[in-house]
Every structure is written in structure tokens, then in C-alpha cells.
Amino acid sequence: MQALEGFHRATTPGLYVSEEQYVPIHQALSNAIPKYVAPDHRDALKARIKYGNEISLRKRLHALVSRLEISLRSRILGGNGSMPSSWVTTRNYYTHWDDASRASILDGPGMHRASTRMKTLLRALYLDLAGVPQSAIEKSLGNTCKESQYLIQLNSAEMREKNPNSEYGLMMHVGVKNTEPPG
């Protein structure tokens, strides 16, 4: 997650408004802190205000994902290729220990699967930045290497979970067309 955020910071502007536009907002918010707030609490609030113009992690991840074509996104992220909100929810839970979001966080296997997808997303973004055509990146994700095969398995399992009758990702289908005994 931090690598994706760092990639975004290094390659894309990440402010809600320009730094010049934020100066009066920063001043107004800082001046609005009541005088009775303890000095250490005041410093903590001012630190938050200082970074209040930076876009959220969720917006950063959405911006990164939107750089890729939908077919490549779907192969990496599964489903419709949108950035899973559970990634940010899980990160925020383990950063802030907010019990209100506990029911929506990823479990151990879910975090492993998300980590695999994030690693592949970061690789695809670096390759795209280096000028590798997205069609070539997508094609490489269909090869026989361990990472590609695991991603294919994740996507197949996800598709089958959503639609148990789907044949998506099946390697072989064995079926009986005639149930009558020979004779």
C-alpha cells in the first residue's frame, strides 16, 4: 500500500487546491483552534491541518487504477477492475484502530490476496511508466509464471463465487450428455 502511495506521490500532483489557494484555508483552520486546547493537542491539530490539502489514499489509488485500461485493470484487480474499497478500509483500521470499520476489513487470506494484487498493480504501473504497451503487460499476465497463474486462480475463484454456474476459468468440463444406459 505504501509503495502505491509513494508511486502516486512521485508521479502525480496530489493536492486538492494549489499551495497558494491553501494558505488562507490553512490559516483559517489554524486560527479556529480554540485557545483552551492544550499545546501538545494544538500541535497535533496543526500538523493535520498542514497536510489537509493532500488528497486521500482512496483518491490516490483510484487515480492510479484509472491509468490502466479496463481489461488490464480487471485482470489485476478482478471483477470490474475497480479499486477494492476494502484495501483502504483495512489500512485505515490497522492505522487508527477504528472499531466501526472492523466488520469491513480483510481477513488474513484476504490480505494475502490483496497484497498479490497490489504487487501486480505496482509492477504494471511501473511498466506502463517505462513505456511498455498495456496490451503487452496484459498478455504477460496470462503466461505460466507462478504470479500470473495465481492471479488467474484468484479471478476464477472470484467469478465462480459470484456465479456458481459460470464456466469462467475452467480448465476442463466433464459432463454426461446421455444418461440412458447403452443398449
26-40 per-position pLDDT tens digit: 999 999 999 999 999
pLDDT tens per residue, range 133-180: 999 999 999 888 888 888 988 888 888 888 877 766 565 556 667 777
| pLDDT at residue number 162 | 81
pLDDT tens per residue, range 72-94: 999 999 988 989 999 999 998 99
Pick the closest to residue 84 from 58, 123, 64, 60 (CA basis): 58
Q: Distance (Å, rounded) from C-alpha 157 to C-alpha 78?
A: 10
Report the predicted TM-score, pTM, of the whole model to 2 decimal places: 0.80
Phi, psi angles (nearest 5°) of residue 54: -80, 140
Q: Where are the alpha helices (H) located in 51-84, listed in sequence order?
A: 57-65, 70-77
| pLDDT at residue number 174 | 64
Looking at the chain, the whole-number percentage of residues with pLDDT higher than 70 is: 94
| pLDDT at residue number 169 | 59
pLDDT band with cut points at 50, 70 and 90 for residue 114: very high
Mean pLDDT of the chain, nearest integer? 89
Structural contact between residues 138 and 72, judged by C-beta atoms closer than 8 angstroms:
yes
